[in-house]
Amino acid sequence: MKSSEFVVGWGTLALINAGLGQSKGHDGMSWFLLSLLFGPVATFLIVVSEPVARKRSAGRRDATAKSDDP
């Protein structure tokens, strides 16, 4: 019984870490897999890591950008 609870807890932690990783701009699947291997250590690494600068999509304009319209 204890081993199944451990597996459920470890898997839940891996899912949470995947979400944390995605919220910081990292690949969620990579963090999920790392979390399956390293568990709480991966959680610590996500928390202390810096967010990744996201690329702006081509269709969106920056609010401070000057418009070419007269």
Report whether 22 contacts 28 (CB < 8 A): yes
pLDDT for the residue 21: 93
What pLDDT is stored for residue 40 in this prediction? 93
What confidence tens digit (pLDDT) does each residue in 18-57 have? 999 999 999 999 999 999 999 999 999 999 999 988 776 6
Contact of 10 with 39, CB cutoff 8 Å: yes
